[in-house]
Structure 1
Amino acid sequence: MGVLALGACGGAADFEKPANLCETEGARCVSASVRDLLAVDGDTFELRRLSGSGREERVRLRLIGWDSPETGDAAACAAEDALGQKTEARARELFEAGSKVTFLPEGPDRYGRLRAHVYLDGDHVGWLLSRDGLARPLEEGGQVDWCG
């Protein structure tokens, strides 16, 4: 398993803007209002909407191919926790300023979250956060070191 080591305080990085896979013909994307989406952290979001029977449904979405710093007990160090809190706040700001979220689901991860490419008004959420140094693309099977 490879590890992509990147410093937590490195600031904004200039990662290539990913294509919106929901614009691909035949893509089975789901659309929702950003008002239905909550930031759990920078790479996990919770979609809340009413089902046809009027019951609230909750689905956790995990960004495919991107990582953001963790908070609390999940953080590996105090610097990661602080950056994770900043990331969570920035994700909320982005959702409050946006209008439409679309996502392309690709099945559950080992924690039961639905792995998905998530787009806010057409832009990938991981890429939007990366512009502020708050998310990084993952190498296959790797993880980001936010404490380095």
Structure 2
Amino acid sequence: MTSNINVAPLRRSAVYKTAELIIATGPRTLESLFVAVDFGVKSSRAEKLRLAFEANWLVQDKDGQIDVTDFARNHIAAQTPKMQYIGEITPAQYRPNIYASQGLSKKNIPNRRGQRNDIPAWSVREIGSSQTKA
């Protein structure tokens, strides 16, 4: 007794990967499917394909090649991610306290007490002087 019910397999299963491959490249023969997709041990391949046919996921066309059903095409099309604009992909960072943040190097964090008043004159560079000596 066979029942045609619409059941979607898991995304990581061989049948789901087979359906994605068929949608991308077109109907294939059994041999080329077994080469392209890892169905596991040889003894379980027939059982997995039988379950895919019963679940109304795969179908054999008039040429003898394996194709996906309209249900599978619609299901995979609904699962594809939508386009995201750039602000949605990487949100701006939120740093309420720069002193507590681990994202900044300690050398770039300003001194909490402010700039020193007792800086020796010999350590102050003239404005416009280069840091590298030629």
Q: TM-score, structure 2 length as denominator?
A: 0.23
Higher share of residues assigned helix: 2
Instruction: Give the strand-richer structure, 1 or 2.
Output: 1
